[in-house]
Structure 1
């Protein structure tokens, strides 16, 4: 068991110095007196149903949360004590009218996350890192058209653990606070783009243009990091049309801006099998260089047809338990023989490849299995149990993540545990952190 008394004392002292501890105590006191703050997850999403004689509630223009966390980490091949690190996450989102109200008025939408670490931190961690997730203006000129302009976190894909069609995920993570797939999709950089959508009964057509704004990512703590999100010009077309009551495939065509690469063809498809089970298929294919060639910057490498896909099944029981099994195939990654050769070869090539795969959020090996559990109100009301595991089918390494989360009206309390297992330079065995325990509180305002 980790020795966490020192970490807890430092963490609580740091909360007191920053004014966070009094803030949480005041919130707890307000709840005890019967005046809890409003639920930030529900506020502002829609107008509540009300009697005609009652005034409609106003939409909240902002949402905010604060998330202090304590981590206990066992580094790989480290015989010493567990290492402690503290962190604080600050999230803010805005939805403001620009120049008046009405169905055709412009709105400004923004989302930002600031992560602070200390007083104890792990080697290589920075004191502060800011992620400007979104900052864009949106207008609906008519019931059929939507126009968005600015930095947008444009998320795509129907799979649970790996999203080949989520084309704007590359280099989008400035800081990884949690490895839960939902958190990775939410807490990342958007891309500067112009997005136009046409909707009709049973379908829609979306066009996206993301220009090049900078050459390379920035390491500045407060940088908007346009070089990560917009280092090359990219475009996207997405067409969705309902074919049946429970069948509406989404077709995509994406230009990634890399010399020689063909447009990538994508498909997102879900189908209800019965009242409790849904099958999904997510696929992207096109001519491109392999992930290793991209990592080495070899523009003379041959082009080939590569396919990436994730397909699986999710079933939900009457007890709010959802189980997901997903097979993931990354045709850009090396297979068994090529992976063994890369591990045994020049270490510089191996680590350049691992760094690129991590930045692009691509699995490092070709085939893997993903299992996930979501259990809402598991053993008691408001207690959620979540877990997922990744198993590389190439080198048999694995990653396991578990979470218990208790939800109050405006505060979440969570404990998370993760473990990476595998030999030497395997996909998960090469990660520096062998085990991580994370305790956090998230308070919504």
Structure 2
């Protein structure tokens, strides 16, 4: 099975690169936000405990994640050109000024080209692709091409329509799930997937990750939409093109570490209500969940998302059978074995009415996040009080939460304020994460200014707050100020 999938991915990649496509016409990291995420130690470095899942405007059909009244567009939805091609090329230059916990500032630059879209080979067959080339230059560090230039195959999949109601996809696919904005319990395949980590915004994070190699089928039964999928385990040797080879490692060991089966069912239950039931079997461990959203009036969307799964807690996964002292392990709840854990996101999105803000386009999102696999208030106290050899164990716990992209704290609050056309055609957004147990959190301010028809200038500032041993305050990057310029072809 491993050889079959690897050879199939190689054939799909060759097919995409052999035919030219014309371009027609989104937890701070444990390292510098501009640094390549794939170079980070996945289980050791402390994180900002940021729950990175999100709502992405590029959700594709069959992924069932749009709340009622919200329509998402994607390259797959767009009408192909006369040549059956639909692609976008985005060039970006971004400058970073990052300050660590000791007050030292490091400057960095990143240049990247992001090429994504779809190609139609005929009435039934098509190709989905999402490729990124990037290079990273950091102050006071020698540039090494082997380490600082990367090509990422984020998505590369063939799709085949068996009928107007049924289609198959095979290859590397970014499978996005969930209706919530700040944390998606049903977004199963985000573990270890990020390729760049320069934004805390949920929508950005979904665009900055690797897809999984999978076979999926989507069909409509009456008015019910159903998706079934299989992600195989892929074992490949380190240092090869299938894993982490310099410049062009596919990272299949990161995205396909175990077998997984999943089913999603979305019945038609009303114009103002959307419901999706989920079932997952991940490495023989079952999970069930749902996504529910509905509109109230013209301005308010309420939603909830829940997943119950048999798994290890974050502390148990990080510390294994022996890491950390007995007192520390007991204090953070490690060593309890697999159990049923629950994750949930409950929230609302409120578009402020004209009576309140006039013609301004302002919306407010509020969410509560629950993760029983995370740490309780007393366990967070134990984590922050780690001394001596237990400091490494504490770092391992932060690292697992960072790799899994889920809240380290059992309870967390998320909020986002978006003001479109804040100044002319410029958009302003402010988002934040807050942990009531220790008073720590993270905030991000972003300001986007259109430049001509195809350009965009972005100013972004990110800052964590709280004690240096708290959930968010422990992040080595205290603040990051960024300027980015993108041009879309």
TM range (shorter): 0.7 to 0.9
Partner secondary structure for residue 249 of structure 1:
strand
Q: Does 1:206 align with 2:263?
A: no
Report how many aligned residue pairs link the two structures: 388
| TM superposition shift of 1:177 | 2.8
Q: 1:145 aligns to what? A: 166
| TM superposition shift of 1:160 | 0.3
Give yes or no for contact 1:334–1:365 (8 Å, CA) kept in 2: yes
Describe the superposition over 1:296-339 as per-residue Cα deviations: whole angstroms up to 9, x where unpaired: 23497433221100111101135221110001111110101112
308, 316, 333: which one pairs with 2:374?
333
Out of 182-191 and 213-222, give the one that drifted further.
213-222
Q: 2:431 aligns to what? A: 388
| TM superposition shift of 1:215 | 6.3
Q: Does 1:255 align with 2:296?
A: no
Partner secondary structure for residue 270 of structure 2:
coil
Give distance in 2, aligned partners of 1:124 and 1:374.
38
Give yes or no for contact 1:397–1:429 (8 Å, CA) kept in 2: yes
Give distance in 1, aligned partners of 2:486 and 2:291.
33
| TM superposition shift of 1:129 | 3.3
1:152-191 paired onto structure 2 within 5 Å: 152-191=173-212
Q: 1:4 aligns to what? A: none
Partner secondary structure for residue 118 of structure 1:
strand
Give distance in 1, aligned partners of 2:282 and 2:75.
37
Q: 2:295 aligns to what? A: 272
Change over 3 Å in CA distance of 1:397–1:414 after alignment to 2: same
Give distance in 2, aligned partners of 1:124 and 1:247.
53
Describe the superposition over 1:87-129 as per-residue Cα deviations: whole angstroms up to 9, x where unpaired: 112101142233xx22x2x111110122211163779995123
Q: 1:417 aligns to what? A: 461
Change over 3 Å in CA distance of 1:207–1:371 after alignment to 2: same
Give distance in 2, aligned partners of 1:330 and 1:44.
33
| TM superposition shift of 1:379 | 2.3
Give yes or no for contact 1:240–1:251 (8 Å, CA) kept in 2: yes
| TM superposition shift of 1:70 | 0.7
Give distance in 2, aligned partners of 1:359 and 1:271.
32
Give distance in 2, aligned partners of 1:154 and 1:148.
11
Give distance in 2, aligned partners of 1:392 and 1:216.
39
Give distance in 2, aligned partners of 1:43 and 1:153.
13
Give distance in 2, aligned partners of 1:340 and 1:91.
42
Give distance in 1, aligned partners of 2:470 and 2:371.
16
Partner secondary structure for residue 384 of structure 2:
helix
Q: 2:259 aligns to what? A: 233
Give yes or no for contact 2:305–2:344 (8 Å, CA) kept in 1: yes
Structure 2: runs of 5+ lacking an equivalent: 1-72, 322-333, 355-359
Change over 3 Å in CA distance of 1:310–1:419 after alignment to 2: same
Change over 3 Å in CA distance of 1:412–1:44 after alignment to 2: farther
Q: 2:393 aligns to what? A: 349
| TM superposition shift of 1:272 | 0.4
Give yes or no for contact 2:191–2:405 (8 Å, CA) kept in 1: yes
Out of 331-340 and 214-223, give the one that drifted further.
214-223
Give yes or no for contact 2:100–2:479 (8 Å, CA) kept in 1: yes
Give yes or no for contact 1:216–1:231 (8 Å, CA) kept in 2: no
Q: 1:115 aligns to what? A: 134
Q: Does 1:314 align with 2:319?
A: no
Give distance in 2, aligned partners of 1:95 and 1:247.
31
| TM superposition shift of 1:248 | 2.4
| TM superposition shift of 1:433 | 1.1
Out of 111-120 and 354-363, give the one that drifted further.
111-120
Out of 155-164 and 240-249, give the one that drifted further.
240-249
Structure 1: runs of 5+ lacking an equivalent: 1-40, 49-55
289, 303, 323: which one pairs with 2:364?
323
Give yes or no for contact 1:113–1:187 (8 Å, CA) kept in 2: no
Q: 1:22 aligns to what? A: none
Give distance in 1, aligned partners of 2:455 and 2:362.
22
Give distance in 2, aligned partners of 1:192 and 1:253.
19
TM-score by length of 2: 0.75
Q: Does 1:93 align with 2:116?
A: yes
| TM superposition shift of 1:425 | 1.3
Out of 358-367 and 87-96, give the one that drifted further.
87-96
Change over 3 Å in CA distance of 1:194–1:47 after alignment to 2: closer
Give yes or no for contact 2:76–2:128 (8 Å, CA) kept in 1: no
Q: 1:12 aligns to what? A: none
Q: Does 1:288 align with 2:311?
A: yes
Q: 1:358 aligns to what? A: 402
Out of 423-432 and 224-233, give the one that drifted further.
423-432
